[in-house]
Amino acid sequence: MTENDISYKIRGSIFKVYNELGPGLLESAYESVLAYELKKEKLKTEVQVSLPLYYDEIKMDVGYRIDILVENKVIIEIKSVENLLEVHHKQLITYLKLSNLKLGLLVNFNTADIGKSIFRKVNGLGVI
């Protein structure tokens, strides 16, 4: 399955979770329910995946975590905030670089319109 195929299924699951739960819950609630929905879609789904940081070829123990990793190809970064900040977008780009993955989705569940609150981020210049 390509990153595009996976992201299509992820978006469908995001809409399902949002339509069922609505805005205003904690990020952890959306993470749990979204992971459940993705597993129902038969997608390999891992939550709170450790993301190592290497500096000068030394592994640093800094405790970064990917909210949800789908099919070992797509990162989902979940927020439930009043407004997404530029740093949230940059965080996902950095996670993509550290993991050498191509595609990530940043989603803010605390919104009146979930369709306008899912942001696709691509690592590098390759077309996805």
The helix/strand/coil state of 53 is: strand
Task: Give me the residues paired with residue 64 across strands.
Answer: 51
pTM above 0.85, yes or no: yes
| Sequential pLDDT tens for the chain (128 residues) | 999 999 999 999 999 999 999 999 999 999 999 999 999 999 999 999 999 888 898 988 787 999 999 999 999 999 999 999 999 999 999 999 999 999 999 999 999 999 999 999 999 755 44
Domain locations in the chain?
A: 3-122
Q: Which are the contacts of 20, defined by CB distance < 8 A and separation ≥ 6?
A: 33
Residue with the two structure tokens 């399902």: 16
Of the CATH numbers 3.40.1350, 1.10.260, 3.40.50, 2.40.128, which one belongs to the domain with range 3-122?
3.40.1350
